[in-house]
Chains A and B, each alone.
Chain A
Amino acid sequence: MTNTNNASSLLPGFRVLDLTSSMGAFCGKLLRDLGMDVIKVEPPGGDPTRSEPPFANGREHREGSLRFAYLNAGKRSVTLDITQESGRRLLLDLVARSDIVLESFEPGYLSTHDLGYEVLLERRPKLILISLTGFGQDGPYAHYKTPDIVGTAMGGLLYISGDPKLTPCNPPETQSYYYASLFASYGAMLALWQRETRGIGAYVDASIQASMALHEHVAFNYSAEGRVMKRAGSQHQHNAPANLFQCKNGWIALFVTQNHWPILLKVWEDHPVELDDPKWINSNLRRAHADYINAQVTSYTCRFLKEDLAELLQKHGIPGLPVNSPSDFMKDPHIQARGFFSTVTHPVLGSFSQPGSPFVFDGKRAAPSSAPLMGQHNDEVFCGELGLERGKLEELAASGVI
């Protein structure tokens, strides 16, 4: 149904230099999925993401990191030591042919190596520089180290996540890195638009903390209502039944609003008569008595398989969906029919199913490709595109610059 076509892309013809490691790689990934040529510039030992789990077959190997494989799918890879003068000069040659430079070093790192925005601009007027860090380029926490869990903690999402009886629980993978990367991508698009319409470059300063602090009205609820949001397990703050409910073979996620409540009672033919009291139409009242409502609803949901109940409720317009494991999701017929996953082939990892771009345009979805081997495109980029002589490339390789 969806035509997956490699040749079609939304924004071909733009080039991005991706100097990030795992913190900003998701931004480069989205820019790649928008159709741009993204060149990953790895330090000579390789991007540190290459040593991050999970690994294929559990074996640590620089081409075996599935985290690297996903976050860098479709990018080209060169290796370059930008802290050495000859490497720095080659980077500037690349900058001269690029539209966007993306980096996630500690603030000031590029300037220390004489590669600050002004220097880059000299080589490439109207350049767009995207810096993505934990807290932004300046300010009291600018130099704080920010693994993902510091980002979710300082942004406010961690505190409200998890069972109230337990320790706050971090979301899966590195969501704070991804989320800031999405804001950085928006910054890249705004900056490109500005360049096309006004002819100026831009320096975008993305902050993980500032991106995360937009979540779930956490700051706003306190500011507007003086209310500190707390952990509530799976229970939504304003509605009930809006929780996970036990089924025969797992759980279903229900979110039943005022409009859906009467329909639910109709579908649930033998519901307790007390629930017919019209006072329960009011979502706030149901939420105030969530324990009672949830217990009643569970007596119904536990009769069904989660998929069957979801289908039954959806048929009546009630938005119930099963709690899937990752494999359940990958096998779902709807997701399969939309062509979200495609098979890619990687020289070391073999053939496997990989998510494609998250959007379809004019009915087409750009098919994913696999991640590059370390330095796979050194020859193509340095010799083919920058015109470096092959002898010189070998010399730089021998001296550890490439």
Chain B
Amino acid sequence: MHSTNEILKGVRILTFTTGYAGPFAGRLLASYGAEVIKIESRKGGLDTFRHYGQHKDIDAAPRFIECNLGVRSLSINLKHPTGAKLIRELAGRSDAVLQNFRPRVLDKLGLGDEELRKSNPKLVIVKLPGFGSEGPKSSYGTWGFNLTAFSGMTYLWNHPDQDRPIGSQGVYPDHLGFIMGPTIMVAALLHSRLTGKGVSIDLAQIEGTAYTLGVTYLDAAVNGHDPQPKGNRDPQAAPHGCYRCQGEDRWCVISVRNDDEWRSFCRIIGKEALINDARFVDRAARAQHTAELNALTQQWTETQSAEQVMTKLQSAGVPAGVVQTGADLLQDAQLRHRNYFVSFSDSLIGPFEIPRSGILFRGMSEEPLRLPNRFGSDNDQILGEILGYDLATIDQWRAEEVLT
């Protein structure tokens, strides 16, 4: 049986990444078989996630491990002329480069697209800058947190009629970047393979984010108004939303989209009389009475556990779900069925489980993911076996702080 962990076997990708989106993009390429070489340096070029949390050991930060599974580690000082030269040589023996540094950082080190491509015209280069490589604000510093704000997503991600924006505590654009990055990377690798030509991709994370709000922008453009937050409302379903259940901070979601689902819903909540109630007789009528529907829905959900709501309604063909916490996800029967979590019992940080991927390949096997290789532990092998340098030379570079 073929293994999904070998799909990209033979593809070598150099990554210059830090934080969440860029490293995780590297992880997703590595977990499908690419040889991902993560390039960092103690001379001002360590991935910031190596210091996330309380760990002193730069290989033990759980957040770093989560985002860098399966990658190899090369420690090279890019500011040293020999370091930059070695990267150019390595680019000659690689298929692609992935980077999420600010625009022109690599160019200033003599590692711009043209220089990297000199010895390898087929080289694919994918960049994930926050605001793109070009444009009046391309030098702006960005995080997932404030890209959400700039795109309009924070403004929209709220209950209706609130007196302040809320958005998210998180970094939604990073999640978009770490899946769009590998997708465009493999597309670019295919392009290079089929045309024999390299290609440079600029995937601005702000545009990746805005790509998921296009319906809203069209609404603004065509209808000439500024779309407002909808919260949990859906104009085509009622009841629809998030409802409190039994227990501390426990919630479920329910969506009743048509008459069939409405009839089943009424039977499950023990209110068959409502089926023929004139206020709720069809979708249009129900849309006029959402406040009453939400109230009577919550009256019922408060007497149920979230799991009961989901099981009873879904068994009757009515969309419903548990508003799951992190603890719920780890126990979720469906995720377990998909063999979704990879278990690690590492001496550095103890046992833990990591979610794998949104996709499965049916009829193919899937191997466990590997921990990231320790910082700099692949130096000798990469410089020796890929570039052909002897150990004495490599040791000298270590002494000269080229490899650090």
Contact = CB atoms under 8 A, between A and B. Distances in A.
B186 interface: yes
Contacts of B397: none
Nearest to A229: B326
B140 A321 contact: yes
A168 B242 contact: yes
A70 B218 contact: yes
B232 A149 contact: yes
B215 A70 contact: yes
Interface stretch (A37-45, A326-334, A372-380, A393-401): A326-334
Summarize B's interface: helix, strand, loop or mixed: mixed
Contacts of A326: 152, 155-156, 213, 216-217, 219-220, 226-227
Contact of A156 (B204, B234, B325): B325
A242 B330 CA distance: 28
B168 A161 contact: yes
Given A149-B242, A172-B213, A355-B214, A322 B150 contact: yes
Contacts of B364: 202
A232 B351 CA distance: 28
Which 7 pairs from chain A and chain B are nearest by CB? A211-B358, A222-B326, A183-B358, A319-B141, A139-B337, A253-B149, A172-B156
Interface footprint category on A = 35 or more
B359 A183 contact: yes
Contacts of A341: 217
B327 interface: yes
B353 A223 contact: yes
Contacts of B139: 314
Contacts of A246: 164
A22 B147 CA distance: 26
B114 to A, nearest CB: 12
A130 B145 CA distance: 32
Nearest to A259: B48
A71 B214 CA distance: 8
A184 B149 contact: no
Interface footprint category on B = 35 or more
Contacts of B381: none
A193 B153 contact: no
B338 A210 contact: yes
A217 B152 contact: no
Interface string A333-373: 11101101100000001101111001111100000000000
Given A137-B362, A145-B319, A202-B364, A222 B327 contact: yes
Interface string A194-225: 10111010111111111111111111111111
Contact of A361 (B200, B330, B362): B200
Interface string B187-207: 111110110000111111011
B326 A228 contact: yes
Interface string B171-190: 11001100110111011111
B134 A1 contact: yes
Interface string B211-249: 111111111111100110111101111001110100001
27 contacts: A57-B222, A66-B223, A71-B214, A140-B333, A145-B317, A147-B255, A149-B242, A150-B320, A155-B324, A207-B358, A210-B359, A213-B340, A213-B355, A216-B171, A224-B66, A228-B325, A228-B326, A234-B168, A236-B145, A255-B145, A314-B140, A321-B149, A323-B154, A324-B150, A330-B220, A359-B202, A360-B201
B112 to A, nearest CB: 14
B170 A216 contact: yes
A150 B253 contact: yes
Contact of A159 (B152, B236, B244, B325): B325
B207 A338 contact: yes
Contact of A190 (B8, B171, B249, B318): B8
B151 interface: yes
Contacts of B4: 190
Nearest to B336: A139
Given A66-B222, A321-B147, A192 B190 contact: yes
Contacts of B10: 197
Interface of B: 2, 4, 7-8, 10, 28, 32, 52, 62-63, 66, 131-132, 134-143, 145-159, 162, 164-172, 175-176, 179-180, 182-184, 186-191, 193-194, 199-204, 206-208, 210-223, 226-227, 229-232, 234-237, 240-242, 244, 249, 251-253, 255, 257, 310, 314, 317-330, 332-335, 337-338, 340-341, 349, 352-364
Contacts of A209: 332, 334-335
Given A222-B330, A326-B217, A359 B203 contact: yes
Contacts of B164: 244, 246, 251
Contacts of B249: 230
A361 B150 contact: no
B335 A193 contact: no
Interface stretch (A84-92, A173-181, A266-274): A173-181
A236 to B, nearest CB: 6
Contacts of B237: 147
A194 B6 CA distance: 9
A62 to B, nearest CB: 15
Nearest to A144: B314
B151 A362 contact: no
Contacts of A225: 62
A34 B203 CA distance: 13
Given A187-B361, A220-B66, 5 more contacts: A69-B218, A160-B170, A202-B361, A326-B156, A335-B206
